[in-house]
């Protein structure tokens, strides 16, 4: 008997060791595997995390959760990605695995960059501090690159360039063929914003060569998107549109949810500047439809999981009931009748309860979906106006003209813009800046957006020679600006003289 128990225990230990080794082998897959197999990685690393949790192997579980968080982010499922990554962080902190903690904090900061840049910067700064204390050069390669991205988004170009170059130096010393192109692309984008297009193209060619040699399919897709951005920065809208449209013809793009959404949104922006409003409308529709489909797929998957769980419980209950009935046949008729009666009552009550429960769940999911859609739409309106005004700043920088943008908001004032009013304000600002660039070729251009309890006002001023009264009719954009301002219930004002031209639009009771 003792021998049998010993053999049994040895077998159990061997199975546990085999499972643990399998967890480690899957967790050792590099980022290139995740980039090339995004949807598969989401499910695969979920299975690894579950297996590690069943073994009580917390380090393996944390590493699997970290990889799954990356896959979810690349798949466009941001909220799930953040939730999974936070679980990994808590486990790494608990286990004292500081290097893994630093890397995962950095991943979380990067994933949050478009939703909360300030919070993302806090996570990234904490990650860099830990990695530098551990002298972990491999992790610092990624952290410096991503920290540079956050600084670029905050318009801190010098800081962004500093971190990009530090990341590139580390990667070159480590011969990191997967990571070097990321740094080259980041530096290329920064140089393009500064107008150094020749150097930006040279870095992109180096990145292409490395990724082609490594057969990095995901990286090559990223490079195609980067070339489109470079054409857009140079003002070659036709080439930028062709390259972005070409990306959408690659089936693999739609596996990378974030990249597909980016292409649709970027094409809408390009065609707006080309004044091809039919295509703008078409790509906006596709952008909305594809974004909505991601949420629908997610909700359907959750509903399917709930239904599967319900079906499993129901089958287990039916099996138990059939066993009770089989045992009851050998007993007295009275006991059999009683048991059957109880089962019927329980069955009817159970079905009614489950129907009510499913109805409640469906109503709750519909309510959450409507609330999420409303919040998402308002967030898009607010973020889009700020992003478009920053595009104007970059456009002026590419012409060598100095552009100042100021935003003032009184304390306690909450700004809520409808999509229609936001579009009118944006078009007025674009038209005013285009007129300043076209008719006044010297001096500064300034834009001020100010919100008070009474009104929201937009002022655009240049230091050009101004217009004579008889020349105003030749400035075709003025009529468009006045019409848009009145369409949104605002007042339009224009003053022009030797000191320059100023356009003022005010919108009451925002």
Q: Would you say residue 233 lies in a domain?
A: no
497 and 391 fall within a common domain:
yes
434 and 336 fall within a common domain:
no
Residue 356: other Cβ atoms inside 10 A: 10
pLDDT tops 50 at residue 134: yes
pLDDT tops 90 at residue 405: no
Six-digit token string for 287 = 């952008």
Q: Contact, 150 vs 125, CB < 8 A?
A: no
Percent over 90 (pLDDT), the chain: 18
Q: What is the pTM of this model?
A: 0.47
Collapsing DSSP states into helix, strand and coil, what is residue 438? helix
338 and 393 fall within a common domain:
no
Q: Worst-scoring range by mean pLDDT, 26-30, 105-109, 205-209, 407-411? A: 407-411
Q: Contact, 228 vs 266, CB < 8 A?
A: yes
501 and 400 fall within a common domain:
yes
391 and 334 fall within a common domain:
no
Four-residue CA torsion sign, 53, 57, 59, 60: negative
Six-digit token string for 43 = 């499910």
357 and 453 fall within a common domain:
no
CA distance 448 to 461: 9
- 190 pLDDT band, cuts 50/70/90, is confident
Six-digit token string for 50 = 């579950």
Residue ranges with strand state E in 130-216: none
How high is the mean pLDDT of the chain? 79
Six-digit token string for 247 = 């990306």
User: What is the structure's pLDDT at 296?
Assistant: 46
Helix axes 38-55, 58-74, angle to 10 degrees: 160
449 and 475 fall within a common domain:
yes
CA distance 37 to 303: 25
Residue 287: other Cβ atoms inside 10 A: 19
User: What is the structure's pLDDT at 344?
Assistant: 82
CA distance 242 to 234: 14
Q: Would you say residue 73 lies in a domain?
A: no
For 84, list phi and psi in degrees, rounded to 5.
-65, -40
CA distance 294 to 76: 8
> Which residue in the block uniquely carries the two structure tokens 């060791």?
17
478 and 392 fall within a common domain:
yes
Looking at beta carbons, which pairs linking 372-379 to residues 24 or more positions away fall under 8 Å?
A: 372/295, 373/295, 377/419, 378/416
- Give the domain range for residue 353: 298-380
324, 350, 380: which is the final residue of a domain? 380
**Number of compact structural domains in the chain:** 2
Residue 65: other Cβ atoms inside 10 A: 26
326, 358, 380: which is the final residue of a domain? 380
For residue 231, CA distances in Å to 61, 189, 282 come to 44, 11, 22
Q: Would you say residue 409 lies in a domain?
A: yes
Q: Would you say residue 488 lies in a domain?
A: yes
Q: Worst-scoring range by mean pLDDT, 29-33, 145-149, 278-282, 467-471? A: 467-471
Residue 468's Cβ-count burial label (10 Å; 0-12, 13-18, 19+) is: exposed
Collapsing DSSP states into helix, strand and coil, what is residue 218? helix
363 and 468 fall within a common domain:
no
The CATH number of the domain holding residue 432 is: 3.30.565.10
> Tens digits of per-residue pLDDT, 320-375?
555 666 666 666 676 677 777 778 877 777 777 777 767 767 766 665 665 455 44
Q: Contact, 106 vs 146, CB < 8 A?
A: yes
Q: Worst-scoring range by mean pLDDT, 165-174, 338-347, 381-390? A: 381-390
Higher pLDDT among residues 98 and 381, named by residue: 98
């Amino acid at each position: 008997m003792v021998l049998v128990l010993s053999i049994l225990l040895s077998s159990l230990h061997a199975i546990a060791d085999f499972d643990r080794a399998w967890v480690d082998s899957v967790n050792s897959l590099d980022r290139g595997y995740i980039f090339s197999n995004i949807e598969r990685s989401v499910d695969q690393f979920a299975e690894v995390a579950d297996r590690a949790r069943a073994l009580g192997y917390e380090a393996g579980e944390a590493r699997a959760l970290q990889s799954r968080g990356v896959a979810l982010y690349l798949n466009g499922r941001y909220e799930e990605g953040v939730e999974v990554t936070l679980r990994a962080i808590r486990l790494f902190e608990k286990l004292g695995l500081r290097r893994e903690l630093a890397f995962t904090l950095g991943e979380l900061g990067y994933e949050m960059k478009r939703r909360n840049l300030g919070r993302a910067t806090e996570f990234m700064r904490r990650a860099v501090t830990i990695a530098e204390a551990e002298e972990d050069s491999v992790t610092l390669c990624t952290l410096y690159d991503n920290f540079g991205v956050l600084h670029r988004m905050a318009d801190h170009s010098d800081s962004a360039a500093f971190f990009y170059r530090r990341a590139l130096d580390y990667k070159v010393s480590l011969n990191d063929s997967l990571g070097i192109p990321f740094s080259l692309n980041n530096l290329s984008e920064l140089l393009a914003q500064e107008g150094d297009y020749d150097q930006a193209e040279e870095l992109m060619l180096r990145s292409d060569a490395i990724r082609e040699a490594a057969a990095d399919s995901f990286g090559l897709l990223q490079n195609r998107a980067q070339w489109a951005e470079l054409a857009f920065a140079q003002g070659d809208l036709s080439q930028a549109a062709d390259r972005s449209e070409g990306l959408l013809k690659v089936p693999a793009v739609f596996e990378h949810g974030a990249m597909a959404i980016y292409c649709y949104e970027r094409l809408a922006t390009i065609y707006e500047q080309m004044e091809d409003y039919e295509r703008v409308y078409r790509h906006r529709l596709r952008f909305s439809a594809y974004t909505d489909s991601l949420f629908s797929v997610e909700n359907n998957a959750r509903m399917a999981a709930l239904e599967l769980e319900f079906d499993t419980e129901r089958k287990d209950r039916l099996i138990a009931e059939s066993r009770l009935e089989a045992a009851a046949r050998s007993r007295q008729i009275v006991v059999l009748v009683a048991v059957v009666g109880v089962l019927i009552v329980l069955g009817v009550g159970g079905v009614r309860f489950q129907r009510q429960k499913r109805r409640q769940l469906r109503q709750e999911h519909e309510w959450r979906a409507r609330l999420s859609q409303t919040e998402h739409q308002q967030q898009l309106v607010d973020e889009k106006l700020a992003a478009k005004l920053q595009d104007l700043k970059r456009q002026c920088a590419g012409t060598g003209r100095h552009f100042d943008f100021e935003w003032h908001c009184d304390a306690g004032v909450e700004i809520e813009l409808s999509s229609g009013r936001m579009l009118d304000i944006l078009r007025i600002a674009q038209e005013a800046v285009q007129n300043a660039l076209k008719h006044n070729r010297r001096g500064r251009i300034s834009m001020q957006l100010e919100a008070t309890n009474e009104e929201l006002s937009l002022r655009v001023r240049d230091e050009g020679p101004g217009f004579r009264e008889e020349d105003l009719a030749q400035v075709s954009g003025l009529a468009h600006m006045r019409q848009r301002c009145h369409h949104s219930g605002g007042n339009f004002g224009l003053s022009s003289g030797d000191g320059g031209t100023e356009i003022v639009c005010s919108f009451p009771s925002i």
